[in-house]
Amino acid sequence: MLISKCKYQKFCILTFDFLVLLSACGGLGGCKVRQPTAPTPQMDAKPQFQVRVLLLNNITACTLKTSSPYSIIGSIDDFQSTIENRKSGIPVSIQLTAGRITIAGQPFTNDQITILPDNPHIFNLNGDSYRGKLKLIVNPDSNSFDVVNVVPLESYLAGVVGAEMPGYWEPEALKAQAIAARTYCMHIKKQFGSNRAWDVSKTQAHQVYLGVSAESAQVWDAVNQTQGQVLVCKHSDGSEDIFPAYYSSTCGGHTENSSNVFGDSFEPLVGVPCPYCKDVAKPTFFSWSDVQFDSNDITARLLQRYPTLKQLGEIADITTAKQSNYEDFSRLTEVKLLGSTGKSDFLKAEDLRLTIDPTGRKIKSTICRIIKSGDKWAFLSGRGYGHGVGMCQCGAQAMAREGKTAEQILTYYYPGSKILTIEY
């Protein structure tokens, strides 16, 4: 979610195909027998509890494989058709030809095609396995299509929790992660889902979703034991509702006000001290190495992302406009850009960071000093990993190790919030 999440190496990642292969070769020497992946629960959940995840966008071809027979709902010769019981186990080529989607050589005349795998409702797309259904949507220019995974909320969360936290972390930390991720997803779906054909992307832009490969028994336990639980707080109109429960990897010692990073304002999204993450975060995340970027590259990236900055010319100076000061460090929240034309402008520090380093892996946070060094800009004395708003994931793990419950972790990082259970 919102760039800069935990990028820990996943624990025991096995794709569905690999699981099937392991099951199939149970009698062979050296090959361990594993249970096939469990069926997907809640396939009949109402649309408000189905998450539409953008898996691929602006593509012209992909490959689908299923372990079970599947159906295709689409139009052939302008008549709505359902092709049932397509054979499983064979890779199927999906292509866009002359503006039309073609599946295994069969052209469809409509712009939206649904693919429904039978029980256990799992499909493999370009090598990655996901639960639920698949939608193929031709883009308005007819030159490409998007692929959207329609997946029940709890199955979606299993693919998120295991991607955002190592599955071997404390059960209460995993439960806190599940509740935060459920709340964030439902908020985004509610705010933006009605204006587009999908609710969330599968990347750090929202929450990292890796589908079946992120699942484990521990992750499913965390999701099942918190089923339907979301965080709510008082909104400005007096109502009690969910809010964007942002979270990030390692706050560095103090979380940040959302208004300074994302520009929104909710009672629980205020900075709190975090004495916890230093005990869990990798030393190279808690205090990261100095990094440098070529000043010409920085100007080019900023101008490409923010065309209005063109009036500045070359970026000649970057200075601190606003920062949050803590006991022994400060987090930059706004920078002033001075251009070679003499004009200047302001930018949120987090936007500057992710424009210069879209992966967020080099400039890991805005807790750093920015100085000019010849024809380069250096980011020094870095501390923490991520935007720092909301729950600190490493801090959550440290609190869970101390015996804190998921509820205690969440009310610490989202003060003024409470857990509510949605029935569905």
- Which residues of this chain interact with Zn ion, rule CB under 5 A? 251, 274, 277, 392, 395
Smallest gap from residue 392 Cβ to Zn ion (A): 3
Nearest approach in angstroms of CB 385 to Zn ion is 10
Contact 352, 335 (CB under 8 A): yes
C-alpha distances out from residue 310 to 211, 295, 321, 342, 343, Å: 41, 15, 20, 12, 10
Q: Which residues of 323-359 are buried (b: 16+ CB within 10 A; e: fewer)?
A: bbebeebbbbbbbebbbeeeebbebbbbbbbbbbbee
Q: Which is nearer to Zn ion, 70 or 412 (CB)?
A: 412
- By beta-carbon proximity to Zn ion, the closer residue of 162 and 388 is 388
Closest CA to 7 of 276, 249, 213: 249
C-alpha distances (whole Å) from 285 to each of 8, 153, 388 are 11, 31, 13
Pick 382 or 395: Cβ nearer Zn ion:
395
Nearer to Zn ion, 69 or 415 (CB): 415
Q: How far apart are CA 152 and CA 49, in angstroms?
A: 6
User: Shortest Cβ distance from residue 285 to Zn ion (Å)?
Assistant: 11
Give the chain's length.
424
The residue with tokens 């064979």 is: 90
**Residue of 367, 348, 358, 176 whose CA lies nearest to 254:** 367
Q: Tell the smallest beta-carbon distance from residue 398 to Zn ion (Å).
A: 8
Question: Which CB sits closer to Zn ion, 277 or 312?
Answer: 277
Q: Which is nearer to Zn ion, 284 or 319 (CB)?
A: 284
Query: How much is the CA Rg of the chain, to the nearest whole Å?
Result: 23
- Minimum Å gap between C-beta 390 and Zn ion is 11
The per-residue DSSP string of 41-106 comes to: S-TT--GGGEEEEEEEEEESEEEEEESS-EEEEEEETTEEEEEEEEPSSS-EEEEEETTEEEETTE
Centre a 10 Å sphere on the Cβ of residue 375 and count the other Cβ atoms it contains: 9
- CA-nearest of 97, 200, 95, 109 to 156 is 200
In angstroms, give the least distance from the CB of 376 to Zn ion.
Answer: 30
User: Which residues does residue 87 pair with via DSSP β-bridges, in sequence order?
Assistant: none
Nearer Cβ to Zn ion (218/397): 397
* Shortest CB 394 distance to Zn ion, Å: 6
Smallest separation (angstroms) from Zn ion to the CB of 123: 38
Q: Looking at beta carbons only, is 162 or 390 nearer to Zn ion?
A: 390
